[in-house]
């Protein structure tokens, strides 16, 4: 059975712009969270929470695609 997939940009669209930017910076560009927080002028905990929530929102894009039948 072939799985349907959704490209990363579609999944990122389920996150807020800030979440998407930080998820991309951390996971795609490989920038460490303290560096993201320094560049954006926010506390590192804000970046951490934003990334976690962004991933949660992105997961909604894939809900139900990989359930066993």
| pLDDT reported for residue 9 | 83
67 three-state secondary structure: coil
Tell which wins on pLDDT, 9 or 36. 36
Interatomic CA distance for residues 45 and 37, integer angstroms: 8
Query: How far is Cα 31 from Cα 47, in angstroms, rounded to an integer?
Result: 12
Q: Please report the pLDDT score of residue 6 as a whole number.
A: 65
Residue-wise pLDDT tens digits, 14-63:
899 999 999 999 999 999 999 999 999 999 999 999 999 999 999 888 77
Cβ(20)–Cβ(53) below 8 Å = no
Return the structure tokens found at 62.
């894939």
What is the pLDDT at residue 68? Answer: 54
| Report field, pTM of the whole predicted structure over 0.85 | no
**23, 15 Cβ separation under 8 angstroms:** yes
């Amino acid at each position: 059975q072939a799985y349907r997939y959704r490209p990363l940009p579609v999944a990122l669209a389920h996150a807020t712009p800030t979440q998407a930017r930080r998820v991309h910076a951390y996971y795609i560009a490989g920038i460490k969270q303290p560096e993201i927080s320094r560049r954006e002028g926010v506390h590192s905990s804000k970046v951490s929470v934003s990334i976690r929530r962004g991933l949660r929102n992105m997961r909604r894009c894939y809900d139900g695609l990989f359930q066993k039948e």
